[in-house]
Every structure is written in C-alpha cells, then in structure tokens.
Amino acid sequence: MTERVLELMRALGARIVSSWIWRLGFACRFLWLMLLESAPSFRRFHLTIREIYFAGVLSLVIILVSGLFVGMVLGLQGYDTLVRYGSSDALGVLVSLSLVRELGPVVAGLLFASRAGSAITAEIGLMKATEQLSAMEMMAVDPIARVVAPRFWAGVISMPLLAALFSAMGVFGGYLVGVRLIGVDEGSFWSQMQAAVDFRQDILNGIIKSFVFGVAVTWIAVFEGYDAPPTAEGVSGATTRTVVTSSLAILALDFVLTALMFRGL
C-alpha cells in the first residue's frame, strides 16, 4: 500500500516537473531569446505593422461589438440596482469604473486570446509542421527574429488599444441604454463620470493591466506555436492550450494586479 502511494506521488511529481516546471523554464528562456532578437525585428518594423493588422485590426469587430453589449448590459443591471438606492444618477460612474478598471482589460484580453492568440499559435505551429521555420533557418534567417518577435510585439501593442476601445464602446453602450432608453439625466451621467474617474488610479491602472495581459497572452501564444509538435494533432492541442492557459493567466494576473493597485480603497 505504502509502495503504491509512493509510486503515485513519484509519478505526480515527475509529471509536474516535466510538463509544467520544465516547460515554464523553457518558456522563460524563449521569452529572453525573443527579447534579444527584438532589435533586428524592430529594424524591419513593417513586419510588426503587418501583424498588428492581423492581430489587432481584424479583432476590432468582435471587440467593439462585445464592448457595446457589455456596456448595454451594465447600463440595464446597474440602473436596476442603483435605482433601489435612489442613486441612478451615478450610473455613468458605475459603468465607466467597471469597464476601465476590470471588464475592459479582462474581457478584451479573453476575446483577444480566443481571436488572435489562437490564430498566432495555429499559424506558427503550421509553419513549423510544414518545415517553413526550418527552411528559414537553413536560409540563415532566424525565425525568432523574423516570425515570432513581430507577432509578440504586435500583440503587446494591440492589446491596450483594443482594451481602451472596448471600454470606450462599453461606456457608449451604457449611455445608450441608461440615458437614451431609460432616461437617466444626461448631465449627471457624464459629469459624475468625469468627477469620479481618476486618470492615474483608474485609467492608467486599466492600461497597465491590459498591457500585462497583452504580454501574457502573446507570449503564451507564440511559445505554444513554436513548441507545438509538428503534427495536426500537435497544432490543435497547442491552440487549445493557448486559449485555456491565456484565459487562466488573465484571470489570475487580474486578481494579483487588482490586489496591488486597489488595496485600501
């Protein structure tokens, strides 16, 4: 019996070391290499611009539409709660603070992971499976500088912009429902929002969050693609892992960042 328990613990330990800790170490070395190779990729910035188009611009529709609906739902739910306390004028504050502090970075990050992160993993994984990365290396071109780094920086640049647009669209959605549909006073909606939302404490912290999520999601996406086994099954598994790991990372990082940024408030 003791033998079997020990055996089980050994197997569990081996699994954790080989599949998690070892991979985390590998991912950290990969990030370091990518940062070192970023200078050559910046010299060809058109490559990063092209990836910003694929990762950022093509994500605009889903981000804007989701932002609008999240804002409209916040308007409805917020009004329903606030009106019970006779403070429906504070709807603008509720909608804007929820969005810029939390929902903007988090939901935009989750959408970005599903829309752009999965695409980045699948593309790099398929390039590896079809030997395009090996071909590049044989042509004396470093795929980390040429393929990986531009995608990484495109994600890092796009994510805060997408989160900001998500929040802006959400505020507009809240306005549509709260002011136009329900009839909350327009002056109170905007003026209370303006008075309550602090640039450094709320907006800047939201931007920092979305930047951190951008780094996390894109790092996971490029690493999973580069590390994917070069088979159809391998690429599909890597794509799934990107979405799952990124989503969990966003939620965990959000808790840590919120605890650091808003403690004592």
Greatest pairwise CA separation for the chain in angstroms? 73
Asked if 162 and 63 touch (Cβ cutoff 8 Å), the reply is yes
Instruction: Select 81 or 134, whichever has its Cβ closest to other proteins.
Output: 134
Q: How far is the CB of 198 from other proteins (least distance, A)?
A: 45
Shortest separation between residue 153's beta carbon and other proteins, angstroms: 18
Q: Which is nearer to other proteins, 111 or 149 (CB)?
A: 149
User: How far is the CA of 264 from the CAs of 198, 259, 260, 261, in angstroms?
Assistant: 16, 9, 10, 9
CB of 14 to other proteins, least distance (A): 16
Helix axes 45-55, 149-175, angle to 10 degrees: 40
Nearer to other proteins, 37 or 224 (CB): 37
Q: Nearest CA to 165 among 71, 240, 247?
A: 71
Compose the 118-137 pattern: x for residues touching other proteins by CB under 8 A, - for all others.
Answer: ------------xxx-xx-x
Taking the complex as a whole, the smallest distance from the CB of residue 136 to other proteins amounts, in Å, to: 8
How many residues would you count in the chain? Answer: 265
Backbone angles phi, psi at 28, to 5 degrees: -70, -40
What distance in Å separates the CA atoms of residue 18 and residue 22, rounded to the nearest whole number?
Answer: 5
Smaller CB separation from other proteins, 110 or 145: 145
134-173 residues in contact with other proteins (CB under 8 A) are: 134-135, 137-142
Contacts to other proteins from residues 13-72, by CB under 8 A: none
Binding site for other proteins (CB under 8 A): 130-132, 134-135, 137-142
